[in-house]
DNA sequence: GGTATTGGTATCATCCGTGATACTGCTGAC
DNA sequence: GTCAGCAGTATCACGGATGATACCAATACC
């Protein structure tokens, strides 16, 4: 019976941990935002312009959530108070392994699904 | 500039792959269902009873989506047409690595966030 | 002073995922 | 025949995530 289980025997706690992980980068815009910052965009309008279809509202909300989760930092230039910089934290970079794995699986999965149709 | 990027330089295609991955196990019930089947439950009512709060509607929908994504198989017993078996595919087991990684990160993240408050 | 840019917030509308409830077709036991 | 169990489907309702639009404060340029 346990042989048919996927590798990890999951507990209730594991399920919650998984759902947390999904929550942190879930929703419609978090990943595009990560992508944008990843590509060198630092300022609010810069990021906004780089993501077609996003509204200021959703960008603002999503950035705050990413900040709450310590994946990015928000820094206001004390000299130019209308200038804000968003950057990845060192912590976010640890996330890289997982992101890589998710990308790999997603691509593999797509090929697999399409291939069988 | 690229140094501040998380490990992988993501393309638009990568973003889509990531979103696909999240979609496959996203939503409220997919993970609890995976957990349930993982623990040896095979039949609809069996799975339903093992997950507090789920409705037949959501279980039915989620199972179909998991089946569409080839993570589980649905087999009707030809002798007993009211008996259906849900099982993991070999393919789903490949997913184990990713699940493990996501659980690990989720737990680590929780500690990290709570620790800093 | 007027206009443009940055970095947002406030308010209302809409849509989609989910919940609640009822119902169906089939089988098997009594 | 009737009642219970299995494996669902159908219909309506709700709420939270998202979208649309307008607005605001601060700065900079002319």
What string of H, E and C letters represents the secondary structure of A34-69?
A: HHHHHCCCCCHHHHHHHCCCCCHHHHHHHHHHHHHC
The verdict on a CB contact (< 8 Å) between A106 and B21 is yes
Of A15, A25, A38, the CB nearest to B31: A15
The verdict on a CB contact (< 8 Å) between B24 and A109 is yes
CA nearest to B5 within chain A: A38
Q: Provide the CA B29 to C1' D26 distance, Å, integer.
A: 47
Please state which of the ranges A95-99, B38-42, B43-47 shows the lowest mean pLDDT: A95-99
pLDDT tens for B70-80 read 999 999 998 88
pLDDT of residue B9: 56
pLDDT of residue B92: 92
Closest CA to B35 of A84, A17, A109: A17
pLDDT tens for A11-50 read 889 999 999 999 999 999 999 999 999 999 999 999 999 9
The verdict on a CB contact (< 8 Å) between A20 and B100 is no
Q: Provide the CA A54 to C1' D17 distance, Å, integer.
A: 14
Q: Point out the nucleotide closest to A58 (alpha carbon to C1′).
A: D18
User: What CATH number labels B12-91?
Assistant: 1.10.10.10
pLDDT of residue B1: 43
Q: Point out the nucleotide closest to B55 (alpha carbon to C1′).
A: C19
The verdict on a CB contact (< 8 Å) between A9 and B34 is no
Q: What residues in B contact A16, CB-CB < 8 Å?
A: 106
pLDDT band at A117 (very low <50, low <70, confident <90, very high): low
Tokens of B99: 């699940």
- The reported pTM is 0.90
Please name the residue that has the structure tokens 């004390």.
A78
Element housing B20 (H / E): helix B12-25
Domain parsing of chain B, residue ranges? 12-91
pLDDT of residue A5: 57
pLDDT of residue B116: 59
Contact, A75 CB vs strand C, < 7 Å: no
Q: Cα(A22)–Cα(A6) distance, rounded to whole angstroms?
A: 19
How many pairs of residues across A and B have Cβ atoms under 8 Å apart? 161
Element housing B68 (H / E): helix B56-68
Tell me phi and psi for residue B115, to 5 degrees: -60, -30
pLDDT of residue B114: 87
Please state which of the ranges A74-78, A83-87, A92-96, B14-18 shows the lowest mean pLDDT: A92-96
Q: Cα(B47)–Cα(B84) distance, rounded to whole angstroms?
A: 12
């Amino acid at each position: 019976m346990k042989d048919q289980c996927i590798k990890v025997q999951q507990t209730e706690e594991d399920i919650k941990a998984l759902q947390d992980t999904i929550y942190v980068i879930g929703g419609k815009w978090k990943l595009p935002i990560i992508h944008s910052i990843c590509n060198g965009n630092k300022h609010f309008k810069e990021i906004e312009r780089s993501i077609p279809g996003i509204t200021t509202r959703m960008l603002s909300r999503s950035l705050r959530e990413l900040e709450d989760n310590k994946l990015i930092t928000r820094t206001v230039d004390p000299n130019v108070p209308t200038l804000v910089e968003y950057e990845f934290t060192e912590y976010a970079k640890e996330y890289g392994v997982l992101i890589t794995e998710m990308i790999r699986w997603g691509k593999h999965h797509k090929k697999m699904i399409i291939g069988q149709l």
